[in-house]
Chains A and B, each alone.
Chain A
Amino acid sequence: MTTFSEGPAKKGLIVSPIENGTVLDHLPAGKGIMIAEMLGLKEGSVVIIGQNLRSTKYGKKDLIKVENRFLTDEECSKIALIAPNATANIIRDSIMREKRDVAVPDIVEGVALCANANCITNREKVQPRLRTVSRSPTVMACTYCGFEARAQDLKLR
């Protein structure tokens, strides 16, 4: 895993391109390492993490490039809870083939825990399921107990 900081706005200038893989862009500044760890990007593939890059849209941002790795829907849901404005660019043969917004789906199942300690999903073996109440800011409600929490306060599984 390589990290670098304070790069210029144009990512291509400092972050070397990848042939096949995923570029996660527009991550909140300071969340890059956490997201990389959450995705288990510690070993194997080449991973480049950019921190505190200048962003015209958000001021500062983090960015992750990972070679030969494409995200599952579940992984996109996890990222969206932490980084609702993130985009996932799919690169194949050095060309960006697809640009996906990692929007929080209406229902997120098995990804994050309900923030209510007394919820049945935290007490017995019940798959947690959260419903998106609002997207800006991202607020999720448990479909079992109704408890609402901001996405940033949720514990991911």
Chain B
Amino acid sequence: MDFKHRDVVSIKDFSRPELEKIFETAEGMERKGYDKSLLSGKSVGLLFYEPSTRTRLSFDTAAQRLGADTIWFAGVEGTSVMKGETLKDTIETVANYADAIVMRHPYDGSARWAAEVTTARAKRGEAKVPIVSGGDGKNEHPTQTMLDLYSMVRTQGRIDGLDIAMVGDLKYGRTVHSLSYALSMYDCRIHYVAPDMLQIPDHVASFLSSKSVAFTKHSKLEEVMGKADIVYMTRIQKERFPDENEYNKVKGLYCINREMLSRAKPNMRLMHPLPRVDEIATDSDQDARAYYFKEAGNGVPVRAALLALVMGAVQ
């Protein structure tokens, strides 16, 4: 299992043993503390072409806790992207300054392209700079999936055997798609809760069927609330709807509050990739089952583990 110089572009590029290696490394860092010497003298580039709170800040925190410096831009204002610089040229340039590049970009497939750019650069005799995707358009967000899986392991002790409900925007939500792909490597049951127009896309459903994953579809949250070990809420993303009238039909359809939480299993954990709008009422925040902020916190050990592995600081 070799992580050094590895690009992190798609969750599908990782096997279950590889994911477990990342979780084991992250858990070790949480337990023993972060070793500042691991990435001392190294630099991590954070290229965020799109808005981000948790992904950027947790990568920044993770890099610094391991002793790395970070160089970054957040938004393209003030960069040469405004002058029309291509992604390739930006990556070629930053690869001279950074030992790893974390990027979020609006175009689907941009992370794979960036990885090819630094691979081609390595063929010219330069060091391979791993690309870590922080989200590419509506395509994938692999490190979110890794921290989601890590959160499940941390709260339930396992993923095999769990009943996992995913709720809300299952059609457009990239985190739901990536999480579904990853869960196909485990022996769990998935329950998709969404109105018909936002149900899990056929290509994801057929992928799961091809892997013999047990999944069910529901329109009512109440049907799964009492049996789920994990409820994974998602925001219904207004910006993805071609027609605002369609959005108005489904907005606010699912809302979990403290009273609903009280009907869930005691071990159930409520997760959400965040940001939330109105799908989780703030009165839920104090419930022991509410895990979304801790889930966001898990971004630091998971991303620190990943950086240490792909930058060759941990075997």
Q: Which A residues have a C-beta under 8 Å from some C-beta of B?
A: 114, 116, 118-121, 123-126, 142-148
Contact = CB atoms under 8 A, between A and B. Distances in A.
A143 B109 CA distance: 8
Contacts of A126: 88, 113
B137 interface: yes
Contact of A118 (B86, B88, B113, B138): B138
Nearest to B9: A144
A125 B112 contact: no
Contacts of B196: none
Task: Provide the main secondary structure of the chain A interface.
Answer: loop
A120 B203 contact: no
A50 to B, nearest CB: 38
Interface of B: 10, 86-88, 105-110, 112-113, 136-140, 203
A118 B107 CA distance: 6
Given A120-B109, A124-B107, A145 B139 contact: yes
Contacts of A116: 108-109
Contacts of B138: 118
A143 B111 CA distance: 11
Task: Provide the main secondary structure of the chain B interface.
Answer: mixed
A125 B86 contact: yes
B203 A145 contact: no
A16 to B, nearest CB: 48
A121 B87 CA distance: 11
A116 B112 CA distance: 15
14 contacts: A116-B109, A118-B106, A120-B105, A120-B108, A121-B109, A124-B87, A125-B88, A126-B88, A126-B113, A142-B109, A144-B109, A145-B107, A145-B112, A147-B108
A37 B136 CA distance: 37
B202 to A, nearest CB: 10
A126 B115 CA distance: 13
A116 B109 CA distance: 10
Contacts of A142: 109
A148 B177 CA distance: 14
Contacts of A125: 86, 88
Nearest to B117: A126
Given A120-B87, A123-B107, A142-B109, 16 more contacts: A118-B137, A119-B109, A120-B108, A120-B112, A120-B113, A120-B136, A121-B113, A124-B88, A124-B113, A125-B86, A144-B112, A145-B108, A145-B112, A146-B10, A146-B140, A148-B203
In the A-B complex, the 8 residue pairs with the closest CB atoms: A144-B109, A145-B109, A145-B108, A120-B107, A120-B109, A120-B110, A144-B112, A120-B113
Nearest to A143: B112
Contacts of A147: 108
Contacts of A144: 108-110, 112-113
A144 B87 CA distance: 14
Nearest to A148: B203
Nearest to A124: B86
B83 to A, nearest CB: 14
Contacts of B106: 118
B53 to A, nearest CB: 23
B224 to A, nearest CB: 28
A146 B139 contact: yes
Contacts of A145: 107-109, 112, 136-137, 139
Contacts of B86: 124-125
A120 B138 CA distance: 12
A118 B172 CA distance: 14
